[in-house]
Chains A and B, each alone.
Chain A
Amino acid sequence: AQTVTQSQPEMSVQEAETVTLSCTYDTSESDYYLFWYKQPPSRQMILVIRQEAYKQQNATENRFSVNFQKAAKSFSLKISDSQLGDAAMYFCAYKRTGANSKLTFGKGITLSVRP
């Protein structure tokens, strides 16, 4: 079974600084997707960034980028120039490719941003 591990329950960053959130996963599949979701207090899950396992290039979306290490099964999220609005819970998630595959989430990490 696939598992997603986020070992840091909380992190804090100063506004305008950079922070990295860690995630590891376990799978025997070779083709899959990895995601980072943001969940603010409003509870709505918002997709931040996704990575296809077959792509060697790390995904980037504006201030958000990932460091995808397939052999190490590591998928970290870097937030640059942190803003107050980045404060939220962040979840790492895994989904193998193909029909009817399940989205598996980690336990999440609470990110606070200090002004």
Chain B
Amino acid sequence: EAGVAQSPRYKIIEKRQSVAFWCNPISGHATLYWYQQILGQGPKLLIQFQNNGVVDDSQLPKDRFSAERLKGVDSTLKIQPAKLEDSAVYLCASSRDSSFEQQFFGPGTRLTVL
């Protein structure tokens, strides 16, 4: 079974630029999560999708972050414009459904904003 795929693995941008991250969950997984992990901290949930609908985006900075999951499969997370404090690892995870206890994580994207 293929795992959660993410790209790119690394990204360096200047502040005020835009950036997008892509995630392909495990086949058949209905629930997809995006986390932000700042250095030295645990991951923080940004947004949760159930199929192509948003379940929880309470911690997503909506003035600059957006995410979509078209057709309930792949997902894209965008930051526009980026700030220095957005430097972090962005992790994507998926699970069979929202009540299933185990989430499977991708390798993450390390973003550096200069």
Q: Which residues of A contact B (CB under 8 A)?
A: 4, 33, 42-47, 50, 52, 91, 93, 95, 97-103, 105-108
Contacts and interface: CB of A to CB of B under 8 A. Distances in A.
A100 B99 CA distance: 6
Contact of A99 (B91, B99, B106): B99
Interface residues of B, number: 25
Contacts, number: 55
B107 A108 contact: no
Contacts of A91: 42-43
Contacts of B40: 107-108
Main secondary structure of the interface of A (DSSP, over half): loop
A50 B103 CA distance: 11
B108 A50 contact: no
Nearest to A32: B101
B104 to A, nearest CB: 8
B12 interface: no
Interface stretch (B16-24, B48-56, B64-72, B77-85): B48-56
B34 interface: no
Interface in B25-74: 33, 40-45, 48, 50, 55-56
Residue with the highest number of chain A CB atoms closer than 10 Å, among B43, B44, B108: B43
